[in-house]
Structure 1
Amino acid sequence: MAAERTGVYPGTFDPVTSGHMEVVRRSLRLVDRLVIGPAINIGKGPLFSLDERIEIIKEDIEEFPQADRDRIKVVPFEGLLIHFAREMGATVIIRGLRAVSDFEYEIQMANMNARMEPDIETIFLMASDRHQFIASSLVKDIARLGGDTSQFVSQKVFERLKRKFGKG
């Protein structure tokens, strides 16, 4: 019997978008167990607290079939991603790419991680054409300015954004 493949999908997820959820769904085709790791990264000054981001991710995962939900854990992390991946028993780190500009940064990170931990691979999943342009920072900007973000995030995230910015 083959060993269980565990993947780690790290990110700030501030907020989680439909593009993030697409990567989660596609990742489940590649791994047996998926750990979604919202980063404790105060440096980015997140809109949503860590607890809120964890709650939002868990709410969005509730839309998945039970068999898929059973294979997902949400575990926040701080520090080096490679240390977190090792701690989770991961064999792969999953990264979503939207554009070529993402690739330059991500390939550097993947190469550094491979040097530190050669047994953990990095897998890049290209966003589908309908999600390529969605970035959490743009979603926040649209919401802050009173725009409609409902096509970029789940209904629950949309409602949270409206409350956060006092719109609606």
Structure 2
Amino acid sequence: MKSNGTSCKIPDKSILKKDSQLFDYSDSYQGSFSDDEGTIDSTRVGILFFSGKSKVTGLLFAIRNKIVGLFGLKTSGQMSDRQKLLNHFKCEPGEQRGLFRVFEKTENEVVLGEDDKHLNFRVSLFLDRISDDTGKKSLTITTTVKYNNLLGRVYFIFVRPFHKLIVPAMLKGMIKRIESEKSAKF
């Protein structure tokens, strides 16, 4: 199993895999964690995706939002009372959380994203059991982008370096929160 935040391919069982040839860009990062109790599901992972961003990730998102604004794309806006919003978030298709709308959800995967005039993107949070160890799961974050016009392509040139820093950091943070919640129960 790869260490947390390692680049990998789109999981074969992911919802996004069937359309992977239609995307202009995609990447995936994977990590693993113990889930002996089987308590981590796609809803929990979806909530963890939106919680507990580090100061560095927050700064990178702020820079990203400034760049996005120059291109006329949607931004995530300011998050006020984040925990209150998360308490009511069920991670169900159609729900919106900042810039991200929930498109699809299964027991093992949540697909978030947005369609904008310049580009469409999806983020898959995919859980899978590791076959060689019954108590471990992998979490793969896959991002896909489809450009709608030249401005979308140019925009992503500027955002891509931030994306490649933010996503592995978010994955590591999510896994760290899973592990700390587990150890807090004991």
More strand by share: 2
TM superposition score normalised by structure 1: 0.35
